[in-house]
Structure 1
């Protein structure tokens, strides 16, 4: 199961990067439309923060200090920086997952997470985080197609 999760995380973090590259310019990564408060750039920052903390740091021991409010407040971060951060996140996730075995999936996640039951297994939290990654990947894709229907 670990190898399957690792492959899915790697594939879909690559898809996030590919989506960001499809925007015609950096400014469009930060455009908002009525009813959409989080542009692609902020969603990418949020995915970096979320996965870097919950997988890379908490499971893999990769140093990371999260600033969740900044994930949604920052603007005009260069695309190259977003892509570099996504690559570093993908590497941290891969390292963390490579350090686990299938038995670790049945163990409680090492820290309590707000709005999740105490004793939640590492496996169930990794599945949740993968779903969260895909939720925001879909939002980024929709945001791009909303702004640029022909792309």
Structure 2
């Protein structure tokens, strides 16, 4: 006898996808697949995080149900998504069932360089703001 799964709970906390590219750029279905791949590689999407419902992805990327299901099938084939055992139509991030995928050394280095550059820029902005605030406060105290 076939096992019956429960309905997906309402309000389940799902991972946040960035959505479609600007018009005329990358195909929305390819963008969806790429967004999940990059999210896993950059560790924004971790094992066990719940993938949004098909209808949500359809609206977000402007895809048909068939296109979304095809993208999900490809992500499952790549062992990035797995169907939840307990809930109907619920997928979660699963990076290779016991064999975590690690991005190549080059892509990891490139990602780290970009993150360090972004953090350096933010730190410089914050430092400038602190200096401006200090000069304002010190300037008032001297009066």
Class of the TM-score when normalised by the shorter of the 2 chains = under 0.3
Q: Which has the higher strand share?
A: 2
TM-score computed with the length of structure 1 as normaliser: 0.27
Q: Kindly indicate whether structure 1 or structure 2 has the higher relative contact order, using CA contacts under 8 Å at least 6 residues apart.
A: 1
TM-score computed with the length of structure 2 as normaliser: 0.28
- Structure whose CA Rg is larger: 2
